[in-house]
Amino acid sequence: MAQILIHEVGPRDGLQAEAQVVPTETKLGWLQRLVGSGLDIVQVGSFVHPQKVPQMADTDALFRQLAATKRSDDAVLSGLVLNEKGLERGMACGVEMFCMGVSASATHSRKNTGMDTEDATRRIITTALEAQRAGHDVQVSVQSAFGCGFEGAVPESRVMGIVAAYLEAGLTAISLADTAGHAHPAQVGAYVRRILAMEPTARVTAHIHNTYGVGMANVYAALEAGATSIEASFGGLGGCPFTKVAAGNVATEDIVHALQRTGQRGDIQLDTLIAVARDVAAFFGRDLPGCVYKIGPIAAAPSV
């Protein structure tokens, strides 16, 4: 198994559904610790209308402050964009990796972007190619890839149709997002293998929610099938505010802890991740879904 990349999405996916807005300085403190912790990628925020997602109103300012002090060995700074305007904002403030996607659920797509899946696919591909031409890393995703809280089952053919459109356009970094948390391990593994059969050089990421308690099993199913990157959130916080049941992600520190127990990713500062998760829980005044930040880690095996 190749080294597994960890993409921390807590500052965006973790916070976006929270009604209590986190002050910019507090958020910046969390981000600075995450960016320097050995994680590979940290998603700073999303470029959305502040009235729709008030928590993301300071995304531009956060990118500017982080970019101004970034070291060469810090995590890549990623940002989520939904359209051309978001891309323009991201290019102006220091985004290094652009993440953008299309929902395989027509209902979720309309609630999330105001577009149907077909129109959204065309628009996202155009936007992604523009970002690539400007020299940025780009990851495209299929949201609600494993099911939808509004529609239920989503046909595999619809998911793979979006993937095929991405690959045809030359976009090979692809994330499968379990937005509604409906995925099960056999399905996750089959979808990852299907993408790699379509394009063996594709870089597949799994974005897993733990809505029904099978999040970690789905993470391992994705990795065993050939995914090389996992998106996760501090403390397991998160959930799309435009899906039916907004439930948390798999916790970043839980995944890193599991990997380190088998001698992998010893370069990531697990104590820093745990400390951030504890600070986030203290800020919101409640327990988060994650496990390791609450009970502490088991000593790691020697690195390999």
Which residues in 148-276 belong to E strands, given as ranges?
A: 173-177, 203-207, 229-232
The predicted model gives 151-156 an average pLDDT of 89
What's the whole-number mean pLDDT along residues 173-180? 95
- For the residues 241-257, what does the mean pLDDT come to? 77
Helix (H, G, I), strand (E, B) or coil at 283: helix
Two tokens, residue 6: 């960890």
Question: SS3 of 285, please?
Answer: coil
pTM, two decimals, is 0.94
Q: Tell me the mean pLDDT in the region 75-97.
A: 96
Question: Which fold is adopted by the domain 5-295?
Answer: TIM Barrel (3.20.20)
Residues involved in catalysis? 240
Token reading at 75: 């995590």
Q: Range with the lowest mean pLDDT among 81-90, 246-255, 267-276?
A: 246-255
pLDDT at 150: 76
Contact by Cβ (8 Å): 289, 251: yes
Residue 261 has pLDDT above 70, yes or no: yes
Q: How far apart are CA 138 and CA 1, in angstroms?
A: 23
Token pair belonging to 171:
């976009």
Tens of pLDDT, residues 14-42: 999 899 999 999 999 999 999 999 999 99
- In this predicted structure, the answer to whether residue 205 has a pLDDT above a threshold of 70 is yes
Cβ(121)–Cβ(163) below 8 Å:
no
DSSP 225: H
What are the boundaries of each domain within the chain?
5-295
Task: Work out the mean pLDDT of the chain and round it to a whole number.
Answer: 92
Per-residue tokens: 42: 């940290």
